[in-house]
Amino acid sequence: MSPLVEKRALQVAVALVLLLPFTAAIAGVVGGPKFLGKPPVIPTDLDSHFRYVSGLFLAMLLAYVSCIPRIERKTERLRLLGFLTVVGGLARLWSLVKVGVPSTGHQVGLVIELGIAPAILLWQTRVAHRFEGKAREAAAGARR
């Protein structure tokens, strides 16, 4: 696979992976914790905190989206976002251990946070290295 084709495949994969988290973040901002079910009473502070965290999550996802067009050059930003994602996944895993297994949507989130996100980071590193090599070859050819 050529570097350009691999870059395009990575861009599509990142965009597809972001769809589910985007819907959850928007639902969290707009609907608060109610979108997770119908608890009898949602304390005001819980609603406020949930929407705030959902807003942070949405901002993080928008930062991921900003990496897609030139993904081969966004290694540092993607690593920071990946670190935030994995730390969030570890917090979710801690909840699973301490409180119990969450709903399917949250289990999928855990897979994305601790499995798919690190795999995407590794893939992006490969694509970045391939493009660096291509740029070096072009520069060497121009000097000849």
Task: Average the pLDDT over 28-50 and give the result.
Answer: 89
pTM of the predicted protein model: 0.89
Tens digit of pLDDT for each residue in 64-94?
999 999 999 999 999 999 999 999 999 999 9
Helix (H, G, I), strand (E, B) or coil at 141: helix
Tens digit of pLDDT for each residue in 107-128?
999 999 999 999 999 999 999 9
